[in-house]
Chains A and B, each alone.
Chain A
Amino acid sequence: MQPLYLVAVTAGMSQPSSTRLLADRLTDAAQRQLAHTGRPAEVRVIELRDLATAIAQNMVTGFPSTALREAIEAVTRADGLIAVTPVFTASYSGLFKSFFDVLDNEALVDKPVLIAATGGTARHSLVLDHALRPLFSYLRAAVVPTGVYAASEDWGTAGDDRTDGLATRIERAAGQLARLAAGTAPQPRQKTEEVVPFAEQLAAIRGS
C-alpha cells in the first residue's frame, strides 16, 4: 500500500525550538498510530524559518521561489497536515500566517489538519480555537477536534486530575488525525490545467 504523506509545518523561531519539538512529537505519534493499523506514513517537516525570506518575496512579487514552491506543493498534496505555531502577540506568528496567505486558497480543502501551538504560559491556550481553527475553517480544511497547546510547564508535568498531560493530548490528537487521514486518503490532486470549454462559458453568461 502506498504510504500516506504527512507534512508538518512549524513556525518556531529558535533553533532548536519547542515548536519544532511539538511538531516532531505529533508526527511521530501519528506515524506510529498509523503503523499500528498497517498504514505506513512518510513524514516531511517544513521549517518556515528557512523560508522566511522566500515567503516575504512571494508577497512582494506574487510568485514563489523554487524552495517555497516545493514546500507549497508538499503541503498541497499531503494526506494530513500538522500545523504548529508559537503564540506571538495573542495569535499565531506573522510568519505562520504569511505561509498560509501564499498558499492557493483551495489547497487545503477537505485536508485533515491537526492544529497545535506553543507558548510561555497556559494563559494563551485558547489561541488554538480563537485563531488557528478559524483560519483553517476558512480554508475549508477538516480540522481534528483536539488541538494541542504546549506551555513551557507542560514539558515538565504529567497533568493532574482536571487536565491530561501533554503526552496524552498528543496521542489523542495524533490518533484523530491518523484516522481521518487514513479514511480519506489518498486523494491525488490533479495538476492539470482544467478549462471550461468556451461555448459553455458563453452559454453560462447568456443563460443567467
Chain B
Amino acid sequence: MQFGIFTVGDVTPDPTNGSTPSEHERIKAMVAIALKAEEVGLDVFATGEHHNPPFVPSSPTTMLGYIAAQTKRLILSTSTTLITTNDPVKIAEDFAMLQHLADGRVDLMLGRGNTGPVYPWFGQDIRQGIPLAIENYALLHQLWRTDVVDWEGQFRTPLQGFTSTPRPLEGVPPFVWHGSIRSPEIAEQAAYYGDGFFANNIFWPKDHFIRLIDLYRRRFAHYGHGTPEQAIVGLGGQVFLHKNSQDAVRQFRPYFDNAPVYGHGPSLEEFTEQTPLTVGSPQEVIDKTLTFRESFGDYQRQLFLMDHAGLPLKTVLEQLDLLGAEVIPVLRREFAAARPAEVPDGPTHPALTARAAANNGSRPTRDFGHDTATAERTDADTKR
C-alpha cells in the first residue's frame, strides 16, 4: 500500500487573514510540501496540471524533475496529466525523460480535465473528450512499447517512422493510472490495458465510486489481467488533523467554508458525513480511512489532499508531520494485515521491471499491456 499526497496547486487567499501567496511563493511551497512528504515517510507526491489562474502547475514534469533531484524515495506522479489536450508524443517524451532522471520513481495519472476553455486553447473540442482520451492514450501506450511507430489517427498529424526518445527506463514504461469522476468509459479503458484506476472521491458520496470501481475490477478480470481483487485501485481522500478533534474542526472551518470547490455549500458536518473528508484527531482519520477498504476492497494507493483552500504552508507542513507520525504507520500496519497475499502491492518501477522480465524472458521491453490485436476480443459481459 502506498500513501501520498496530491495537490491541485491553487493560489487561494487565506480566508483567516486575506493574504494571498504569490505564484512564486506557491510554487516553492509545493516543492517544500513534496520534500516534507518524503521526510515524514510518505510514498507519493502528485501534482495537478492546470492552464488557467489561480492555478500554478502548468508544467508538471519541470516541477517533478526539480523535486526528483532533491528526494531519494518519493514516487513522483500527477493528478492529473491532461490526455485530451496534451500531445501524447510530448507526454511520452517528457515522462520518459523524467523517469530516467528520477531513476524510475515516476508514474502518472491521466485525466480529461474539467476546465472547458482549455480544450479550445489547445486546439481541441471538449465534445470529443472521451475519444481524445482513448485515441491519445492508445498512441502514448504504443510510443512507450514500440521503438519505431507508424501512426494515423483522428486528432494529431500522422507519424511515420517515429521513435519517442528517450526510450523508457530499462524498457519499462511509467505506470499509468486513469482518473475519472464519472465516466465508465475511462474505467473500461483502464481495465482493458490492465492499468490502474484512480477514483478521486473527495467531493462525492462513495456509492457513485463503488459502482465505478466495481465496473473497473470486473472488466480488469474480463480482460485477463487477474482477479477483480487484483486490479490496481487508487483513492483520493482529504483530511485535516489536530490532536484534539474539536480544535481540528475549529481551525479548518474557515478554510472549508470558503474553499473554492465546495465552499458556501453544505456545512462541514454535512460534508464530512457524505464524503471522505475527515476533520478530526489522528484516530478519527485512521478509522475513516480504514472504512475505504470496506467500501472499495483492498487497494494500492491512498492520496490525501492537504494543501488547498488557502491553508498556509506552515500549517500544511505541520499537518504532514502529524499525518506521517501518527496516521500512516498505523494505516500501513492495518492495511498490510488485512490484505490477502494475492493482492498486489502499489506499483513501483522495480516491481514492474521484475514482472516484465518474468513475463517476457529476456525481452522485458515488449508488451507489458495489450496491443491492437486484442481489440478483436469479443465482449459478452459488458452489461451487469
Q: Any chain A CB within 8 A of the CB of B211?
A: yes
Which residues in B have their C-beta under 8 angstroms from that of A206?
153
Q: Which residues of A contact B219 (CB under 8 A)?
A: 195
A192 interfacial contact with B, CB 8 Å? yes
Which residue of chain B lies nearest to A199 when distances are taken between CB atoms in the complex? B375
Tell which of A60, A194, A198 touches B192, judged by Cβ atoms closer than 8 Å: A198
Cβ proximity bits A172-208 to B, threshold 8 Å, 1 near / 0 not: 0000000000000000000011111111111111101
Q: Is the CB of A196 within 8 A of B266?
A: no
A residues within 8 A CB of B376? 199
A65 in the interface (beta carbon within 8 A): yes
CB distance A56 to B383 under 8 Å? no
Cβ-neighbour of A57 out of B130, B265, B384 (below 8 A): B265
- The stretch from B43-51, B182-190, B233-241, B353-361 touching chain A is B182-190
B277 to chain A, nearest CB (A): 11
A156 at interface by CB-CB < 8 Å: no
Name the residue in B138, B153, B212 with the highest tally of chain A Cβ atoms < 10 Å from its Cβ.
Answer: B138
Q: Cβ of A202 and Cβ of B212 under 8 Å apart?
A: no
- Complex-state Cα separation, A192 to B184, whole angstroms: 11
Q: Which of B337-384 contact A (CB under 8 A)?
A: 374-377, 379, 382-384
Q: Report the Cα distance A61→B181, complex, angstroms.
A: 13
**A200–B131 CA distance with the chains assembled, in angstroms:** 11
Q: Once the chains bind, are A193 and B375 in contact (CB under 8 Å)?
A: no
In the bound complex, CA of A62 to CA of B185 (Å): 20
Q: In the assembled complex, which residues on chain B have CB atoms less than 8 Å from the CB atom of A195?
A: 184-185, 187-188, 215, 219, 382-383
Interface of A is mostly: helix
Which one of B263, B265, B374, B384 lies within 8 Å of A193 (CB-CB)? B384
B271 partner residues in chain A, CB cutoff 8 A: 61
Given A205-B131, A208-B154: A61 in contact with B266 (beta carbons within 8 A): yes
Report how far A108 CA is from B81 CA in the complex, Å.
35
Contacts of A88 in B (CB 8 A): none
Q: How far is the CA of A202 from the CA of B271 in the complex (A)?
A: 38
Contact with A along B44-69 (1 / 0, CB 8 A): 00000000000000000000000000
* Alpha-carbon distance between A184 and B353 when the two chains are bound, in angstroms: 58
How distant is the Cα of A157 from the Cα of B351 in the complex, in angstroms? Answer: 82
Q: Would you call the interface of chain B mostly helix, strand, loop, or mixed?
A: helix
Check if A60 sits within 8 Å of B264, measured CB to CB: yes
CA distance A98 to B266 in the complex (A): 17
Decide: B203 and A193 in contact? CB cutoff 8 A: no
Question: Given contacts A194-B382, A196-B185, is CB(A63)–CB(B203) below 8 Å?
Answer: yes
Q: Is B204 on the interface with A (CB-CB < 8 A)?
A: yes
* A199: chain B residues within 8 A (beta carbon): 192, 374-377, 379
Measured in the bound complex, the distance between the Cα atoms of B212 and A208 in whole Å is 28
Range, interface on chain A: 20 to 34
Please, how many residues of chain B have a CB less than 8 angstroms from a CB on the other chain?
40
Contact call B265/A196, Cβ cutoff below 8 A: no
Q: Are B188 and A205 in contact (CB under 8 A)?
A: no
Write the nearest CB–CB distance from A191 to chain B, whole angstroms. 9
The reply to whether B375 and A62 form a contact with Cβ atoms under 8 Å apart is no
CB nearest neighbor in A for B223: A198
Residues of A with C-beta under 8 A to B138: 202
**Shortest CB–CB separation between residue A54 and chain B, in angstroms?**
9
Residue of B nearest to A56 (CB): B265
B162 lies within 8 A of chain A by Cβ: no
What's the nearest-Cβ distance from chain A to residue B382, in Å? 5
Which residue in chain B gives the minimum CB-CB distance to A54? B266
**CB atoms of B266 and A193 under 8 A apart:** no
Instruction: Write out the residue numbers on chain A whose beta carbons fall within 8 Å of the beta carbon of B212.
Output: 193
Distance, CA A65 to CA B266, complexed state (A) = 9
In the complex, A198→B203 CA distance in Å?
28
In the bound complex, CA of A206 to CA of B158 (Å): 13
Interface residues of A in 60-92 (CB under 8 A from B): 60-63, 65-66
CA distance A63 to B273 in the complex (A): 13
Residues of A within 8 A of B154 (CB): 205, 208
Chain B residues near A204 (CB-CB < 8 A) = 131
Q: How far is the CA of A63 from the CA of B202 in the complex (A)?
A: 12
A208 to B153, CA, bound (A): 10
Interchain CB contact under 8 A, B375 and A202: yes
Instruction: Among A61, A192, A205, point to the contact of B153 (Cβ < 8 A).
Output: A205
Q: Is B87 an interface residue (CB 8 A)?
A: no
Q: Which 8 A-B pairs have the closest CB atoms?
A: A60-B265, A197-B379, A198-B192, A199-B375, A195-B184, A192-B384, A57-B265, A57-B266
Residues of A near any B CB (own CB < 8 A): 56-57, 59-63, 65-66, 192-206, 208
30 sample A-B contacts, Cβ–Cβ < 8 Å, listed by A number: A57-B266, A59-B265, A60-B264, A60-B265, A60-B266, A61-B203, A61-B261, A62-B203, A63-B204, A63-B205, A63-B208, A65-B270, A193-B384, A194-B382, A195-B187, A195-B188, A196-B188, A196-B382, A197-B379, A198-B134, A198-B188, A198-B189, A199-B375, A199-B377, A199-B379, A201-B134, A202-B138, A205-B131, A205-B135, A205-B154
